[in-house]
Chain A
Amino acid sequence: MRRETQNVLLVLLGGALLKIGINGDYLRYVKPSQQVWVIAGGAVMAALGAIAIVRDLVARGRTGDGHHHHLARSAWLLVVPVLAVFLVAPPALGSDSVTRTEARAPAQSQAVFPPLPAGDVIPLSLTDFVTRAGWDSGGSLNGRTVRLTGFVTHTGDSVLLARMVITCCAADAYPLKVRMLGPAGYPDDTWLDVTGQVVPGTATKANRFTPEFTVLSANRIPQPADPYED
């Protein structure tokens, strides 16, 4: 591959990183804390390509024709992420990943959890909800109405509310699931805000800590800017 082409590809790939870093699409792929890395990496990459283009043009002005026969066929592969980001823009992981990945029990951090804050409806992350449902011997969830956010997915007859958890990037994502008692008719990957109560004692090791949840109300919502929990 010629040097000019390599430089164009660097500018394009750097531009792709910059684009998703700035418009927020990077949240489909990595954690929010990596925004700085994505933007800085993209900027440096584009700059390296642009500097080389400018220098080559200036040098060519002085030297006439260059002799560029550098073999770097692997560099063609750089086209793939450029096309993937600009033309395909893969969506955030959804219900397909839930069926594909084993649910994992959240790490047991403590036996008794602090009580939930006072109020009628407590917003909770799925991580917090599932951890408390599975491990809290103090039963801090029992009888409390909580609000959860996630997307719909189905296994067998049950309707699940799920959310993917990532630690670094989408390659290490795993799902947290809650079995919803009540709503039906939502297609896979519909994002919902649901309120309801846990059915005590339903998150066991046998069902991979998937608590049951009596749904009082469910609202369709657009996909959150950050579709993952961490």
Chain B
Amino acid sequence: MVKSGSGASKHPGPGGLSVGLAVASVRLGVGNVGLAVLSVGLAGAGPDCRWLLASSTAVNVLTDRPRAKRRRITSVEVLCVVLLVAILGQSWLQDVLNVPALRTGSTIFVAVCVQALPFLVLGVLISGAIAAFVPARVLRRALPRNTAAAVGVAGLAGVALPGCECASVPVARRLMGQGVAPAAALTFLLAAPAVNPVVLVATAVAFPGRPEMVLARFLGSLATAVVMGLLWARWGKLGWIVERALQRLPDEGRGRWATFAEIARTDLVEAGGFLVLGALISAALNVLVPPSWFAVLGGQLVLGVVVMAVLAVVLALCSEADAFVAASLTALPLLPKLVFLVVGPAIDVKLFALQAGTFGRSFALRFAPVTFVVAVACALVVGTLLIGGAR
């Protein structure tokens, strides 16, 4: 998974040439970024197009230089063609998207990406930092040897990662790679997005005068995470998780910072694609799910719980915002709202795509449905105890 540039013989001649070219191209690249930044305000797509093409061709020229002998079509060329076609077809593209539903969908798609990508970046930075700076033995010593105790500690450790659910996927994967028991890492994965202070404060603001809602959310989410961790410890099979997710980093002589940058980069590329997939699905469902779903739920508790649980999955809202959405559905009793708040950060379409990409399909297909059922059950139990069912 991690590639290194070491272990090959030296070719001084072409080497000097490509370093020279590298410097030239980096200058070119930075110049173009500058151009794009300066073009802010000069509305219109002209400078953007030039930047897109210039930077990709700059790299293209360079990277193809050493292989000039055997002409093969690589992904670099494909990317250039894609960009070129898109730029030439820009007005056509804009016309096609100028249907109200598609326009709304594309706005929501970009919104989910813009909202979630920075959190994913935070997640891969933490993942890279764990890989580069926290030796596996330190992590092992920090967690109790007993799996059940480790699951509990991991659940509470979720309090320390303020952010959206996207950040926790790469972190959990890296924890596994560094030798943390998968049950504990998965507990952390489920707990972190739901029990951190930012989310709890947002919930308190959204439900003024109802502190039991905050407590119920905290306990429901923590219970979901811990139950899932224990279930995994009892029945989970390591074989469901793809091998590359568990791969230990090769202990080679690279600098720590180099490892950090490389891990963060690889994680970002791998998870980023799936985040985009999740954003596409979420945008499509946002436009397709009829608003009347919210309206018919009035007094029907069972239907309300089912629909809110499904909506939590398909809408894929960020865990800092879902409390406000739930609070604004005044017709609903509190219990379905709690289900919405507990299910959403544990499993939604965006997270499912991320998990499938990071841990493999065979893991996600088993883990996600069980998470859904456990989350609904935990929310119902905690809700009945704390907020008294149908009120």
Check B15 against A79 for contact (C-beta < 8 Å): no
Instruction: Please give the distance in Å from B145's CB to the nearest CB on chain A.
Output: 36
Instruction: Please give the distance in Å from A52's CB to the nearest CB on chain B.
Output: 5
Interface size on B, residues (CB 8 A): 109
9 A-B pairs besides A10-B269, A171-B112 with CB distance below 8 A are: A22-B40, A30-B114, A51-B261, A54-B22, A60-B5, A60-B18, A106-B328, A171-B115, A171-B321
Q: With contacts A44-B125, A169-B318 known, is A52 near B261, CB below 8 A? A: yes
Chain A 19-38, CB-CB to B under 8 Å as 1, else 0, gives 11011001011100010011
Check A63 against B268 for contact (C-beta < 8 Å): no
Neighbour of A84 across the interface among B109, B262, B357, CB < 8 A: B109
For the complex, what is the distance from the CA of A26 to the CA of B117, rounded to whole Å? 13
Question: With a CB–CB cut-off of 8 A, which chain B residues contact A77?
Answer: 272-274, 276-277, 280
Check B33 against A81 for contact (C-beta < 8 Å): no
CB-contacts of B289-344 with A (<8 A): 291-292, 294-295, 315-318, 320-322, 324-325, 327-330
Q: With contacts A49-B265, A90-B107 known, is A57 near B22, CB below 8 A? A: yes
Q: Is the interface of B mostly helix, strand, loop or mixed?
A: helix
Chain B 95-133, CB-CB to A under 8 Å as 1, else 0, gives 001001101101111111111011111100100000000
B386 at the interface (CB under 8 A from A): no
Instruction: Please give the distance in Å from B330's CB to the nearest CB on chain A.
Output: 5
Question: With a CB–CB cut-off of 8 A, which chain B residues contact A18?
Answer: 33, 36-37
Check B329 against A64 for contact (C-beta < 8 Å): no
Question: With a CB–CB cut-off of 8 A, which chain B residues contact A70?
Answer: 1, 3
Check B90 against A87 for contact (C-beta < 8 Å): yes
Chain A 32-75, CB-CB to B under 8 Å as 1, else 0, gives 00100110111011101111111111111111111010101111
Check A72 against B270 for contact (C-beta < 8 Å): yes
Instruction: Please give the distance in Å from A147's CB to the nearest CB on chain B.
Output: 25
Neighbour of A74 across the interface among B40, B110, B265, B273, CB < 8 A: B273
Check A3 against B117 for contact (C-beta < 8 Å): no
Check B110 against A102 for contact (C-beta < 8 Å): no
Check B328 against A104 for contact (C-beta < 8 Å): yes
Q: With contacts A26-B114, A63-B5, A74-B270 known, is A5 near B329, CB below 8 A? A: no
Neighbour of B357 across the interface among A2, A63, A74, CB < 8 A: A74
For the complex, what is the distance from the CA of A88 to the CA of B158, rounded to whole Å? 38
Question: With a CB–CB cut-off of 8 A, which chain A residues contact B59?
Answer: 4, 7-8, 53
Total A-B residue contacts, Cβ distance less than 8 Å? 296
Check B291 against A170 for contact (C-beta < 8 Å): no
Check B115 against A34 for contact (C-beta < 8 Å): yes
A161 at the interface (CB under 8 A from B): no
A91 at the interface (CB under 8 A from B): yes
Check A9 against B79 for contact (C-beta < 8 Å): yes
Question: In the complex, what residue of chain B is closest to A53 when comparing beta carbons?
Answer: B59
Q: Which of A92-100, A117-125, A195-203, A215-223 contacts B (4 or more CB under 8 A)?
A: A92-100
Check B117 against A62 for contact (C-beta < 8 Å): no
Q: With contacts A8-B76, A26-B114, A61-B16 known, is A54 near B97, CB below 8 A? A: no
Q: Which 5 A-B pairs have CB atoms at the shortest separation, nearest pair first?
A: A41-B118, A59-B5, A74-B273, A168-B321, A57-B22
Q: With contacts A48-B268, A72-B273 known, is A86 near B14, CB below 8 A? A: no
Q: Which of B46-54, B186-194, B377-385 contacts A (4 or more CB under 8 A)?
A: B46-54
Check A172 against B118 for contact (C-beta < 8 Å): no
Neighbour of A29 across the interface among B33, B107, B268, CB < 8 A: B107
For the complex, what is the distance from the CA of A205 to the CA of B148, rounded to whole Å? 49
A211 at the interface (CB under 8 A from B): no
Check B294 against A172 for contact (C-beta < 8 Å): no
A11 at the interface (CB under 8 A from B): yes
Question: In the complex, what residue of chain A is closest to B164 when comparing beta carbons?
Answer: A168
A207 at the interface (CB under 8 A from B): no
Instruction: Please give the distance in Å from B60's CB to the nearest CB on chain A.
Output: 8
